[in-house]
Amino acid sequence: MVDLEFIRKLVIPAQTKIAFLVMDGLGGLPIEEGGPTELEAARRPNLDPLACRSVCGCTQPISAGITPGSGPGHLGMFGYDPCRYVIGRGVLEALGIDFDLQPQDLAGRGNFCSMDAAGNITDRRAGRISTDKCVELSALLNAQVRLPGVELFVRPVKEHRFVLVLRAEGLAGDLSESDPQQLGVPPLAIRPLDEAHDRAASQRTADLVNSFADQARQVLAAHHPANMVLLRGLDKRPTLPSMQDVFGLRAAAIAVYPMYRGLAKLVGMCALPSGTKLSDEFDSLEQAWPEYDFFFLHFKYTDSRGEDGNFAAKVAMIEEFDGYIPRVLALKPDVVVVTGDHSTPSALKSHSWHPVPSLLYSRYCRHDDVTQFTERACVHGGLGILPATDLMPLALANAQRLAKFGA
């Protein structure tokens, strides 16, 4: 891949529009040897004809054998080196609850946990307290914990999970975690990691977070089983150049889940109202079509059904998505990309390392012999097996938004 600065210098203005359609966890596996994958099993009355007019390939999200989380999976598709721009777990959780994270904020993922009289952890998830209880205790911590010079936010997520955000100038990440990942021992003190960039700032931040944990213990003393907190993935959001800046695109994101809207906002996309159903997302696409150059449309449920291990349900999700392709084409986009951020085979019930079937349609795409939009067929496509970060330069080129390199 070439770097963003290389691309930025080649960007030229254009009126063209790119529809970038992402089925989360699209790639799959057979559930029994020799059988079809989810995508092969799905009826694809619209995706297959589109594949015939497209150039196809399989994208490698990170590198051979590497399974991406949602953060790196999306950054790669958006053209940003996912090994360079690393997103902490706390930041991702904050994005996931639509928290409006500022550049100076430090975010961490919190668990309510159970502790015995000796201070040792007896349940790392506090018996998976109800979400209602989580809302109540998060509000309690938010109201009663005080850190000097710091604005503090404790926001519930689900069951035992919450997000902690500290807002102040001069905070730093590169911090260890307080969760010892085992029972019968006390929580760990948080400290700067050996590789901390600004050790003094990380130490000050660690002191603040440790003070939060101490106070949380006192505030929660009478709330067993949720009488303590564990903190992980404490970091600031990475500073990413915006898609407007590097690609010259007015970019919009359409996604039902907050986390994906949040990831899109990290690269400067405008998060559009997206409703709750796939039809809402395509309504939003149509309504916003005149206003932007680039539309990231994210469909969550291919991944969700893969994570469930529900092969048939993932097939159904793919078929549902297929049905919306004509509405996209009716908008006469200059470029259409259909891809996924990673594979989520129902056979594995998790993200996986397998390359992701991808297609790119444009008037100038030089289509190949691929006539089926499947994992197996896309391997033979004109894009071959390519890094996911190549998709954006290809989309820009096909949208005639990149000038020649060199004389």
Instruction: Kindly calculate the radius of gyration of the chain based on its CA atoms and give it in whole angstroms.
Output: 23
User: Residue from 9, 43, 158, 380 that binds a second copy (CB under 8 A)?
Assistant: 380
| Beta-strand pair 161-167/151-158 | antiparallel
Residues 210-249 that bind a second copy (CB under 8 A): 233
Q: How far is the CB of 250 from a second copy (least distance, A)?
A: 20
Residues 322-351 that bind a second copy (CB under 8 A): 345, 347-348, 350-351
| Beta-strand pair 121-123/18-23 | unpaired
Q: How far is the CB of 220 from a second copy (least distance, A)?
A: 25
User: Residue from 352, 358, 359, 373 that binds a second copy (CB under 8 A)?
Assistant: 352
183 touching a second copy, by CB under 8 A: no
In degrees, rounded to 5, the angle at the alpha carbon of residue 353 between the alpha carbons of residues 352 and 358 is: 100
User: Residue from 8, 12, 83, 139 that binds a second copy (CB under 8 A)?
Assistant: 83
User: Residue from 12, 66, 139, 143 that binds a second copy (CB under 8 A)?
Assistant: 66
Whether residue 232 contacts residue 176, with contact meaning beta carbons closer than 8 Å, is answered with no
Q: Got the DSSP string for 141-168?
A: HHHH---TT-EEEEEEEETTEEEEEEE-
Q: Which amino acid is at 121?
A: I
Residues 11-30 that bind a second copy (CB under 8 A): 27, 29
Whether residue 159 contacts residue 168, with contact meaning beta carbons closer than 8 Å, is answered with no
Q: How far is the CB of 275 from a second copy (least distance, A)?
A: 26
Interface mask toward a second copy for 188-217; x: CB under 8 A: ------------------------------
Q: Which amino acid is at 257?
A: Y
Q: Which amino acid is at 101?
A: L
Alpha helix ranges (H) inside 257-399: 258-266, 278-288, 301-308, 311-322, 325-329, 375-378, 391-398
258 touching a second copy, by CB under 8 A: no
384 touching a second copy, by CB under 8 A: yes
SS3 151: strand
Q: What one-character DSSP code corresponds to residue 162?
A: E
Summarize as ranges the residues that interact with a second copy (CB under 8 A).
Answer: 1-2, 6, 10, 27, 29, 33, 37, 53, 58, 62-73, 82-83, 86-89, 92-93, 233, 345, 347-348, 350-355, 363-364, 366, 368-369, 375-376, 379-387, 390, 392-398, 402-407
